[in-house]
Amino acid sequence: MSKNENIERRKRIAKRIKELRLKANYTSHETFATDNGLSRRNYWAIENGNDFKMSTLLKLTKIFDVSLEEFFKDLD
């Protein structure tokens, strides 16, 4: 996978996370992060396509109550 492909995949994942936050009726990433015990700065970075740990992804899928299969559906 090229560097550009990697960046594009991270952007799609970030977009999915933002969509799930908005679906959960959080207009502010800061409020969402605070309410769910996440660092505001780190959560902002995630929504902007930066790398993050697998454990963070698992925590987010639990918060959003979605399976990994649901989360990754149609991302390719």
Q: What CATH number is attached to the domain comprising 9?
A: 1.10.260.40
End-to-end CA distance of the chain: 13
Tell me the residue range of the domain where 37 lies: 3-72
26 within 8 A of 32, measured Cβ to Cβ:
yes
Q: Count of domains in the chain? A: 1
Pairwise CA distance, residues 5 & 43, whole Å: 22
What's the whole-model pTM score?
0.93
Taking the CA atoms of residue 71, residue 66, residue 51 and residue 76 in that order, the dihedral angle to the nearest 10 degrees is 0
Residue of 1, 10, 75 lying closest to 45 (CA atoms)? 10
pLDDT digits (tens, 9 = 90+) for 11-24: 999 999 999 999 99
- For residue 61, the surrounding DSSP H or E stretch is helix 54-64
* Interval 40-58 mean pLDDT: 96
* Interval 23-30 mean pLDDT: 97
